[in-house]
Amino acid sequence: MIQGKSMGTRLFHLFNYAFLITLALLCLVPLIHILAVSLSSNVAASAGIVKLWPKELTFKSYEFVLSKSEFLLSLWVTVQRVLIGTAVSMTLSILIAYPLSKSNRDLKFRTIYAWFFVFTILFNGGLIPWYMTIRSTGLLDSLWALIIPGAVPVFNVILLLNFFRGLPRELEEAAFVDGAGYWKTLWRIYVPLSMPSIATIGLFTIVGHWNSWFDGLVLMNSQHNYPLSSYLQTVIVQSSLTNMSAEQLANLATVSDRTVKAAQIFVGSLPILAFYPFLQKYFVSGMVLGGVKE
């Protein structure tokens, strides 16, 4: 506690700390429970006696999950989607946000262009026109169907253009005096100075691609092309112990449907949980700086 503070202020800070710690622990409880179930025996999981600690510790469910070709294939589809989708989305967002961050004097009809993008946030054609458009382009049942329709997240563009507008114009003017053009100014000055905002929208994009499941169910005709989240959705709704090989069927004596589902959910969540802390330090500053307009 900080010396010199009144008793009321100290109690207020103590209550805040206790509340935030409790809230953080409550957010972790479901994940801890899933982990405990996945590490428990099939008898304990089926009996519903597993809470926050594994019963009869075993790794059989993870061995079973990692031997399933459907799970590994869907994981690979998601990894490709995240890597390619994030690169495409970030590049397009930067290229759109930079010119829109200029004034009407520098870019004619800049306001009209900006409202064109904002309009897409307020109104959309609906699910059926969205699907028919993607089908008419021949993207169904391909990886690009998961990337191109959402390649320009307008919310991220707005955050980034507001961040660009907050940078001193003198930096750009000095670059022009030194002979740099718009392209070199963008990639040599604006992008390096905007890393907090870029990291923030990059985090949004990565999490969005990783967690998206509905488009995979609608746009993929074959389950072999499902991203991980779509596959896990079918696992939760349907039985995950179907279409198994003889070796997998032999493992039924040591695993249960519940432990297998828990293991798949935890393995699917682990990569994004491991990646998130590396961008967390940019998250708050990027949101604040990108959300404030001069």
* Residues 245-272: tens digit of each pLDDT: 555 555 555 667 788 888 888 888 888 7
Question: Token pair for residue 168?
Answer: 């001193």
Grouping H, G, I as helix, E, B as strand and the rest as coil, residue 200 is helix
pLDDT tier at 292 (50, 70, 90 boundaries)?
very low
Question: Distance between CA 220 and CA 137 in Å, rounded?
Answer: 14
Q: What is this structure's pTM?
A: 0.78
Instruction: Quote the tokens at residue 198.
Output: 């870029």
Calpha distance 181→172 (Å, rounded): 9
Q: Is the pLDDT of residue 75 over 70?
A: yes
Q: pLDDT digits over 165-203, tens only?
A: 888 888 888 988 888 888 999 999 999 888 888 888 888
Distance CA 112, CA 68 (A): 51
What pLDDT does 280 receive? Answer: 66
Give CA–CA dist 205/192, Å, rounded. Answer: 19
Torsion angle of the four alpha carbons 137, 138, 141, 142, in this order, in degrees rounded to the nearest 10: -80
The three-class DSSP label of residue 11 is helix
Which pLDDT band, with edges at 50, 70 and 90, does 293 fall under?
very low
Query: Helix and strand tally (H, E) in the chain?
Result: 15, 0
- On the question of pLDDT at 240 being above 80, the answer is no
What would the two tokens of residue 64 be? 């079973």
Looking at residue 290, its pLDDT comes to 46
Q: What backbone torsions phi and psi does residue 244 show, to the nearest 5 degrees?
A: -100, 155
Q: Which domains does the chain have, with CATH numbers?
A: 69-291 (1.10.3720.10)
